[in-house]
Chains A and B, each alone.
Chain A
Amino acid sequence: MREINVSTLTDVIERLCIEANEHLPEDVKCAIRGCRACEDGEIAKGVLDNIIENFEIADNENVPICQDTGMACVFLEIGQDVHLVGGDLAEAVDEGVRRGYTNGYLRKSVVKDPVRRGNTGDNTPAMLYTEIVPGENIKVTVGPKGFGSENMSQIRMFKPSAGLQGIKDFILEAVETAGPNPCPPMVVGVGIGGTFDKCALLAKKALMRPLDSSNPDPFYADLEKEMLEKVNELGIGPQGFGGKTTAIGLNIETMPTHIAGMPCAVNINCHVTRHKSEVI
């Protein structure tokens, strides 16, 4: 049994909120640079050059990459041999978000009620996901999620008879419908299986996986590759102005599901696919 004070989590989350918003992960930068090298249209090349210049400015000057510094999605993988002490876990997480967004000059983009609105003023609450895993460590991941792209996400409960083709058509339909709105080039996170809610979470987790990785199952690794190619054949291009680069990555996560169903969720992200992890 290892005791961890929740104040440690507060400190780590404060730092991760700031770092994730200012520094794009290397795999994402690499994917954008790779797409720039392959793009041939003048406007498309210009857009990608500006996107590269933008993340370089953010890196060098420690300013947010994008003004939508997102809702703070916080994933905690908590070792089952950890005993959390010193206070309420969810409050400690929110305090980390509060400090990160205040001290880091990040935008406060959360309203306290979905219908009646009203900004909470400190970007809390976090969207908190906890998972109990073996061990005595806590892995903390902060993935700020912007809503220009979140708004373009979709979920559908397929009949199993829709098969693989149904999934493929749905992914393309979601990207096509999103069009220029989610700040392409996008990253596409796909979840297949589970229940309605688990499926959406799989899609979100797919966005947290590095773009230079593949699904460990060769069937889905091939599907990731095929669908990324198909998405890029749509011609939407950087910012929707036309071109080769509609998406810089497409990750698929799956899990078992019911005999009667085949849920599929497509979580769209922009080129500012931010996430940062730390193990306590």
Chain B
Amino acid sequence: MARKITLPLTEELAKTLHAGDQLLLTGTIYTSRDAGHKRMCEALAKGEKIPFDPTDATIYYVGPTPAKPGHVIGSAGPTTSGRMDAYAPTMMSVGARGMIGKGARLPEVVEAMKKYSGVYFGAIGGAGALLAKSIKKAELIAYEDLGAEALRKLYVEDMPVVVIIDSEGNNLYEEGRKAYLDSKK
């Protein structure tokens, strides 16, 4: 059974989550991918603020399709997280604790997660129509010129995710595959 979680992702909450946990997230999250992360990290390097308060925030790596009339948002599944590896430790260093995406992360990201009690959630890649159902509000907050890559503030209800890497560095990609292969021995 999936456990219901309410954001923000405090350090206390993050430490209760373990790789392989199936969760339903409710609360505010922010969207950003390659170009948005690049801009935010450039701003941080210059000592400037980023467009949202990163404290205990969760960032969803997504570039949605445009909303059809009457819809809150278009299809909105995760993009490959590895492209944000260069930026993720910086984002965690200012407090952004949660990441939602898909695919492998570099060891330095996992080290930063251990240091800052970060959690990496997986949403189902390619399930953009389904995931859009859990997005109840969407508001463009910055970088409008980036189109699909603009920064958006989302309110999600019961968004289905799985903990891929927890704050201790346990990794579902390694453990899940090993468990399956062991079961076939």
Contact = CB atoms under 8 A, between A and B. Distances in A.
Given A67-B74, A242-B180, A119 B122 contact: no
Nearest to B172: A241
Contacts of B133: 57
A219 B143 CA distance: 54
Contacts of B51: none
A235 to B, nearest CB: 4
Interface in A174-207: 179-181, 183
B75 interface: yes
A105 B176 contact: no
B79 A68 contact: yes
Nearest to A121: B147
B53 to A, nearest CB: 26
Contacts of A55: 129
A46 B176 CA distance: 14
B124 A47 contact: yes
A63 B65 CA distance: 9
Contacts of B137: none
Contacts of A237: 176-177, 180
Given A43-B22, A109-B148, A119-B147, A67 B104 contact: no
A183 B129 contact: no
Given A57-B129, A107-B148, A271-B126, A180 B103 contact: yes
Contact of B177 (A46, A65, A117, A236): A236
B151 interface: no
Q: Please classify how large the interface on chain B is, using the bins under 10, 10 to 19, 20 to 34, 35 or more.
A: 35 or more
A61 to B, nearest CB: 7
Contacts of A183: 102, 124-126
Interface in A224-249: 235-237, 239-244
Interface residues of A, number: 47
A166 interface: no
Contact of A54 (B65, B71, B127, B176): B127
Interface string B93-132: 0000000001110000000000000000010111111101
Contacts of B76: 67
Residue among A69, A181, A236 with max Cβ neighbours from chain B (10 Å): A181
B74 A63 contact: yes
Contacts of A236: 177
A108 B63 CA distance: 10
B130 A53 contact: yes
Nearest to A238: B124
A67 B77 contact: yes
Contact of A181 (B62, B65, B74, B82): B82
29 contacts: A41-B176, A41-B180, A50-B124, A50-B130, A51-B124, A54-B126, A54-B130, A57-B130, A61-B129, A65-B75, A65-B128, A65-B129, A66-B77, A66-B126, A66-B129, A67-B76, A107-B74, A119-B148, A148-B102, A179-B103, A181-B80, A181-B104, A235-B181, A239-B124, A239-B125, A240-B173, A241-B122, A242-B179, A271-B126
7 nearest A-B residue pairs (beta carbon):
A242-B176, A183-B125, A242-B180, A181-B103, A54-B130, A67-B128, A54-B127
